Amino acid sequence: MESIFNDLIEKWHGPVPSSTLVLFIAAVVPGVIIVFVRSQFVKGKILPYPAGFLSYLSVSTVYWLVLLLLISPLVMLILDYARIHYLIAPFNEFKEVIFVIIVPILVGFVSGWVATKGYVYRILYFLKLNPFHPTPTAWEWCFSESVEQFILITLKNGAQFGGMLDSDSFASSDIENQDIYVSEVYVIDNQNNWIPQGRGIFLSSGEI
């Protein structure tokens, strides 16, 4: 691991730092990238340094363990095959960027996407392990899928009307302020007919 960072620094024509600094960078940077990218898909607070150091260290440790045992050998085989058959530049020329930046970005993206789909949660629930759901509230779960659908809105005063939730609508993911904008409003008459009003409406969390 340390040789990767030393090679990268030498290519930038800078002095190779001490082993402590190199290992510190290796322990923090991939974790920061993974957590940041994943947070674009999953609701959660990104802890600043030094409060988030242990979190980043844990993520980086798991990342390097999986990388060295599983991903790296597979990548090496693929690139060696490509280099032999398609004359691609040697892997050593860009391995630092791949392992330190590109792969953590991909890991964060895949981790966030899998979390939003709930695949891991469903597997663990099937195994009777009862994990915490990655989506913190039912509100976020209901509006997490960008599927065009009709909704029935009930205000606190008892009034009801229909709405169309589509790509022009928006539901807040802020737990403390769950407001919503519905792009199309429908008045529901006594025969349960939905009459479009040709306008949208904003509803604050205190109204619904």
- Each residue of 100-136: pLDDT tens digit? 888 899 999 998 888 777 777 777 777 777 766 666 6
Q: How confident is the model at residue 12 (pLDDT cuts 50, 70, 90)?
A: very low
Confirm whether 44 is domain-assigned.
Answer: yes
Q: How confident is the model at residue 42 (pLDDT cuts 50, 70, 90)?
A: confident
Domain hosting 167: range is: 138-203
Confirm whether 78 is domain-assigned.
Answer: yes
From 84, 100, 126, give the residue that closes a domain.
126
| 96 and 186 share one domain | no
What is the pLDDT at residue 111? 87
Confirm whether 186 is domain-assigned.
Answer: yes
State mean pLDDT over 22-37: 82
| 45 and 103 share one domain | yes
The predicted model scores a pTM of 0.58
Q: Considering only CA atoms, which of 21, 14, 44, 46 is closest in space to residue 33?
A: 46
Nearest 5°: the CA angle 149, 153, 155 is 165
Confirm whether 54 is domain-assigned.
Answer: yes
Confirm whether 95 is domain-assigned.
Answer: yes
| 101 and 14 share one domain | yes
pLDDT tens figures, 154-166: 888 888 888 888 8
| 105 and 146 share one domain | no
| 110 and 149 share one domain | no
What is the pLDDT at residue 105? 92
Domain count, the chain: 2
